[in-house]
A and B are shown apart, each in its own frame.
Chain A
Amino acid sequence: MNVVVPRFSYLIIFGLFALTCCSNKQSYEFDIGAGDSGIALRQFALQANIEIIFNSGDLEGISTNSVRGKMHPNVALDKMLKNTGLHYKKESQSNVYAIVRK
């Protein structure tokens, strides 16, 4: 059985897979005001339809920044948590964002 394979075709296939992998950066429309971090972070999760978890005690008395517009959840969280003493970790397997104190 003769199979004619165009040169570089596999590179194209690999490239498409890589593009698919790296372009998995879905953006969402956010509209969250500055204020109580617990409320704002749950709003963030619901607006992006993603999962989030945090220790309520750790976030007590901390306010997060406002974020508005269409962006990737990571970018939105970076803006919300900037200069708050909080940061996030995203679990690769469960795809859940955990918010923790620095």
Chain B
Amino acid sequence: MKYFFFHLMSWPHLPADFDAKYDSAWIWTPNTLYDPVKGHELYREYINTLAYAEELGFDGVCVNEHHQNAYGLMPSPNVIAGALTQRTQKMKIAVIGNALPLYNPPLRVAEEFAMLDVMSNGRLMAGMVIGGGPEYFSYQIEPTTAREKFREALDLIVKAWTTPGPFTWHSKHYFFQYVNPWPTPMQKPHPPIWIPGVGSLETIEFVAQRRYAYMGVPYFHIDVFRKVFAQFREACEKAGYKAHPEQMGWGVPIYVAETDKQAREEFEPGLWYFVKNLLKGIGLTPPGYTSAKSAAAILKNQNYFLYKQETWDDIENGVFAIVGSPETVRQKLERYQKELGVGVVLTGCQVGALPHHLARKSMELLAREVLPHTRMS
């Protein structure tokens, strides 16, 4: 079992009346709410926490890309990953991911990921993603061809890593006379490819066919994950092989404190800050970004998304987060990781406005009193 510390780098300083005053934390939320002086402190602290994960024995960390929002302050996760290559020695650095249709040319991703892989001496997990709906507003990227561009760019990047250059590339959306990136990646044939997903069958089947790894993005009801990983295993069978547990990652916020009661008291305010403020607007999807059928399914499944939850019971019953004493977290983690059959857990240890010292304390308890037990189960 592998544990990756999943970080969003959320903005914790939104005003108390944010929910009442603003319709979204994305795209058009005025950036006058951002403060670079506080931002400097925040990056320093967040990067320190990510590096600390290695000291504590986490297998790796996850960073990810979001634009023009308060939810995640890594418009370029590669910049943070670059810093981490110099702060850490052993752990994996998973960038999940770069939103390929947002890069023109997408060869930029082949280059930057190769840089990270070489700088880290082969510790990169190369995450590639279509990108959430709001990113298509923020970058004004035409959404109706997003999926085509994603597939083409992914094929181009993999070919750029595995075929000696220069070669010529032609596809519907991209043409290059000379594909010949310097550097090439350290890992052969290429860094492991992780694809984050939110449950669309199309993505599940694609990842299974390519034998990549499917990372279930956090913030969904446990029933969604049950269905997703069952579908993934089935898709692998259909593709003629048995799914490897490490092809399946489950994202879930985890918080550990001395007692169950204390854990909830310390964690809950930061979680609701996240739910009420930062998730607001995340679901805005441009037309054509999915098929009409998928768009209808997304609307129908909204109640399984964290944003729709209102009480602590909702959180507990849907396993939207695992919160409690080391014993409680141990039991729950063991139960669900086994039930889901995953080999990777993306642990959201720093959610919303959780104070840094509490995040660190929870990570320490998780690493010392929980993971040694659950790792082997």
Task: Answer yes or no: are A and B bound together in one complex.
Answer: no
